[in-house]
Structure 1
Amino acid sequence: MGFLKDKALAAIGELMVNKIPFNRHIGLEFDSVSDDLCVIKFAMKPELVGNYFQGILHGGVTSASLDMVGGTMAAVGVLNDNPATHLAKLKEKLTKLSTIDIRVDYLRPGKGETFYAKARLLRTGSKIAVVRMELVNEKGTQIAVATGTYLVG
């Protein structure tokens, strides 16, 4: 990747994760982001427990992390479609990015110490992006999968 592209990807990370108080509250942070894959990680902590008796991750945290990584990947799709876009223009486009629909399939209880939400872009157009996401724990056990549709234009 070129210097400007790396800078744009870093800007997406700053806007999508670090500037949103809820994301900071639940502990989301970037692991990696590229043209093909975005990974966000977070550690299990007592505030994220949904089933107190089993100590498993709350379903809302699962959904929120998948939505966040999906939206971030949709933002990368905007960048890929407009590689020459100036950072100010990119930030302006990202202010309009929003979730249209997300479907989450919960496959297993959210057991683990660290979780990784991963996203891959399925399609991006001038108005809509479609993203496939998954949540795994530190052992690679798949916890949930999701498909999200995002407004990008």
Structure 2
Amino acid sequence: MGFLKRTALEMLGEALVNKIPFNRHIGLEYESVGDEECVIKFDMKPELVGNYFHGILHGGVISSALDMVGGTMAAVGILNDNPATHLPQLKTKLAKLSTIDIRVDYLRPGRGEQFFAKAQLLRAGRKVAVVRMELENNEGSLIAVATGTYMVG
């Protein structure tokens, strides 16, 4: 992967995580983004607890993190589809990026000190991208999986 493309991917990942106030509020942090996978992370904190009896992560936070990493991976598909696109055209396409559908399967309670949301692009078309996402805790336990469909054009 060339330097310019790597830089564009890193800028994309950081922008999509850091420019959205809600993502900052729940503590999402960009970790890595590439052609094959995108990863974001966040720490457990008291305001993210959904079940106060057991101190586990709120399902809405899980869904939000998975949707964010999925949308970022869909944006990678836009970038890959238009490698020579000028920045204004790329910004126009990214502005249209939106979630059409997301299905989350919660596999086990969200226990852990830190969580990692990962995404892989399954299909990138001219109008729609399909992404597979997973959420793991710091011990490597799979907490949830999801499939998302994103409008990209």
Gaps of 5+ in 2: none
SS at match of 1:42: strand
Aligned residue number for residue 141 of structure 1: 141
Instruction: For 1:126, give the aligned amino acid.
Output: R
| Cα drift, residue 89 of structure 1 | 2.0
Aligned residue number for residue 33 of structure 1: 33
Root-mean-square deviation (CA, aligned residues, Å) is 0.9
Instruction: For 1:4, give the aligned amino acid.
Output: L
Is 2:90 the counterpart of 1:90?
Answer: yes
The one-character-per-residue Cα deviations of 1:25-81 (angstroms, maximum 9, x if unpaired) are 000011111000000000000000000011100000000000000000000011111
Gaps of 5+ in 1: none
Amino-acid identity (%): 77
Aligned residue number for residue 61 of structure 1: 61
Instruction: For 1:20, give the aligned amino acid.
Output: I
CA distance in 1, matches of 2:108, 2:14: 31
- TM value normalised by structure 2: 0.97
Return structure 1 stretches of 4+ with deviation > 4 angstroms.
Answer: none
Instruction: For 2:54, give the aligned amino acid.
Output: Q
CA distance in 1, matches of 2:124, 2:152: 8
| Cα drift, residue 84 of structure 1 | 1.3
Instruction: For 1:9, give the aligned amino acid.
Output: L
- TM value normalised by structure 1: 0.97
Q: Which residues of 2 match residues 74-113 of structure 1 at below 5 A?
A: 74-113=74-113
| Cα drift, residue 145 of structure 1 | 0.2
CA distance in 1, matches of 2:10, 2:90: 12
Instruction: For 1:138, give the aligned amino acid.
Output: N
Q: How many residues align?
A: 153
Contact 2:14/2:30 (<8 A) preserved: no
Aligned residue number for residue 49 of structure 2: 49
